[in-house]
Amino acid sequence: MPRAHGNAYMGKLLAKLDEKDKRDDPNGNDEECVICMGAKATMQTFPCSHKVVCRKCFIKTIQVAVSQRSLPLRCVICRARILKLRQAALPKVAVTTPTNAVARTMPKSPSLFQCVK
> What's the CA gap between 91 and 97, in Å, rounded?
19
pLDDT at 7: 75
Task: Please report which confidence band the pLDDT of residue 10 belongs to, taking 50, 70 and 90 as the band edges.
Answer: confident
pLDDT at 95: 53
Pick from 44, 58, 56, 43: nearest CA to 16: 56
Residues 10-32 have a mean pLDDT of 66
Whether CATH 3.30.470.30 fits 3-90:
no
pLDDT at 102: 47
Domain boundaries, the chain: 3-90
Q: What is the pTM for the complete model shown?
A: 0.53
Residues 24-35 have a mean pLDDT of 68
pLDDT of 41 > 60? The answer is yes
